Structure 1
Amino acid sequence: MTEQKSPTNRAMPALLIAGSLGGVGAIMVGLLSLAPAVDDGSGPGPIAQPEPSTVQIQNAGAFVLPPTVGPGGKNTPLTPARLDAPPPLAAEPLVAPIPAPKKVGVKATKVRPTRIKIPKLKVNAVIGAVTLDKKGNLTTPPLSKPNRTGWYRYSPLPGELGPSVINGHVSTRKGAAVFSRLRELAKGDHIYVYRSDKKVTRFTVSGIEQVSKSTFPTARVYGNTDGSQLRLITCGGIYNKKAHSYTDNIVVYATLSKKKG
């Protein structure tokens, strides 16, 4: 992990511009709105991926960003949307969120996501928990476990009301990690998240973008939503060997499209 700005400073520009994203539901608003970008660049260098500077060159001097998050897709450059842009629209009909477990008894309070599967990327990974460190930075799974993902434990359970956040490494010292191919996802692709209460949720990708960590769209990623949504986050862009960090984040947006259990 490299040094980052405090979450308050990182979040303020997005919150000032995109304050209208405040929505419905009793999710951890205070913590979510202050959560920073994910710094996943502890590996020795980037894995093979399209030249990231293309996005920077396209926007250099123009300062005009798309009003919506792009759909992604093969041979499609990933560009950031305007900071005040809302999350992308659902690609499939929405499904009602799963009610939050009642705060009664030990079993009900310990429901957690356990596994994530992304058929297109051949991802089948255990989900652990991540939180904020003493500096207010969002932590990541241990580098010693490159195929493990991390659920931000102060975000909603996958399938419940609000944006559930799961991150993972793009690379480690041993090479490619669990989210090394995350940038290949596109609108319409499916993501499955399994929970300890035997419920299975299917999310459909609605959009994907590559954003600079210095202008991370905090409100769009962590802000309240009217339905159940999922955010997958990893690193991208240029790798700084001295700082052991990538310049950007890849963010995948998805909405609940099926549930069972």
Structure 2
Amino acid sequence: MSGYYPYGGGAPVPPPEDKGGVALRTVLIVAAIAGVVTVVAGLLIVFRSPDEYGLASNRDALALEAQPKPSGQPEQALFQGGPDVPPPLPQINPAPPMLPSTPMRLVIKRLGVNAPIRSVGLAKNGTIQVPPANNANLVGWYRNMSTPGEAGPAVLLGHKDTKTSPAVFNRLPELKHGDTIEVKRQDKTTAVFTVGGVEQASKKTFPTQRVYGSQENAQLHLITCGGTYDRRTGHYTDNVIVYATMTSSYRS
């Protein structure tokens, strides 16, 4: 009915006051409001902790190396592998190895590196010698391994920094898969290497086989310090290793 007509006609008049009905409606309204508040609070809890309630989306869970820096640039994706895993290779065919020739100069255009190379051997404690600390731009070539461009791994070492300034390999961790490195040789040829990957490894678990193990193709491995600087020992905790494969060459 649209109204209450006690006498069969005229304007509608309100029904007689029902105190019990008013009280019941009040209780129902309060209960409805309380229910809405409870539902809203529950939804807020679920949305703040989606993993806990099985609502997380795969597109919200990016891999660590893909998380953007504040500048919007992606983090460097570092190579990881067990001690017996071979070094990472670029997605390009390797060039045929060349005859041995002493390396003279290292050029990494992306990092602004153009540095002379000096031959180094083993120190008295059995470790590979490093270039003198007073020459921040000098690179050492470990002469007991292959020359750059020759079949096998060629190993070049450089300082990350000195007591007073950054050194030649300070920006080495910035290299990425696909970047190129050039080594100018004594025979007037330049070997061009393409980066396959960059690894940061603890000095306690150095990947000896991956760095120094035999290879059929011409490989170039650049090594410097990384990780945390330990003031007690005066050394960094890790090594940064760049793995590259020779993909071309040209006559200088």
Query: TM (normalized to structure 2)?
Result: 0.69
Say yes or no: does 1:172 pair with 2:187: no
Q: Greater RCO between the two (CA within 8 Å, min separation 6)?
A: 1
Equivalent residue, structure 1, for 2:246: 256
Determine if contact 1:81/1:209 at 8 Å carries over to the other structure: no
- Partners of 1:158 and 1:201 within 8 A in 2: yes
Aligned match of 1:88: 88
**How many percent of aligned residue pairs carry the same amino acid?**
46
Structure 1 residues 135 and 121: alpha-carbon distance in aligned structure 2, compared to 1, 3 A threshold: same
Question: Deviation at 1:177?
Answer: 0.3
After the TM superposition, which residues 96-245 of structure 1 pair with which residues of structure 2 at under 5 Å, given as runs? Answer: 96-100=96-100, 111-245=101-235
Q: Letter of the 1:155 partner, please give it.
A: M
Asked if the contact 1:167/1:232 (under 8 Å) is kept, the reply is yes
Shift of 1:197: 1.1
**Structure 1 residue 99: deviation in Å?**
2.5
Letter of the 2:216 counterpart: D
Hey, what's the Cα distance between the residues in 2 that align with 1:197 and 1:79?
33
TM-superposed deviation, 1:77: 5.1
RMSD after superposition: 1.5
Moved over 6 A (4+): none
Look up the SS of the partner of 1:134 in the other structure: coil
Which digits, 9 at most, give the CA deviation of each residue in 1:177-212, with x for residues without a partner? Answer: 000000000000000000111011100000111000
SS in 1 for 2:110: helix
1:89, CA displacement in angstroms?
A: 2.3
Q: Any gaps of 5 or more consecutive residues in structure 1?
A: 1-69, 101-110
**Number of paired residues?**
180
Deviations 1:141-176 (A, max 9, x none): 000101100000111110000000001000101121
The 8 Å contact of residues 113 and 193 in structure 1, kept in 2 or not, is answered as yes
How far is the alpha carbon of 1:83 from its aligned partner? Answer: 1.4
Conservation of the 8 A alpha-carbon contact between 2:76 and 2:176? no
Deviation at 1:79, TM superposition (A): 5.6
1:45 matched residue in structure 2: none
Structure 1 residue 76, shift from structure 2 partner: 2.6
Q: Which runs of 5+ in 2 are unaligned?
A: 1-64, 66-72
What amino acid is the match of 1:83? P
Separation in structure 1 between the aligned mates of residue 93 and residue 99 of structure 2, nearest angstrom: 19
Q: Please tell me whether the aligned partners of residues 79 and 211 of structure 1 are also in contact (alpha carbons under 8 angstroms).
A: no
| 8 Å contact kept, 2:220–2:243 | yes
Deviation (angstroms), 1:228: 0.4
Q: Distance in 2 between matches of 1:255 and 1:89?
A: 7
In 1, distance between residues paired with 2:231 and 2:243? 29
1: CA distance between counterparts of 2:79 and 2:201?
7
Partners of 1:191 and 1:133 lie apart in 2 by 27
**Residue 84 of structure 1 aligns to a residue in which SS?**
coil
Name the aligned partner's letter for residue 91 of structure 1.
Answer: Q
Q: Measure, in 1, the Cα distance between the counterparts of 2:149 and 2:107.
A: 15
Task: Select the structure of larger CA radius of gyration.
Answer: 2
In structure 1, how many angstroms separate the alpha carbons of the residues matched to 2:78 and 2:178? 16
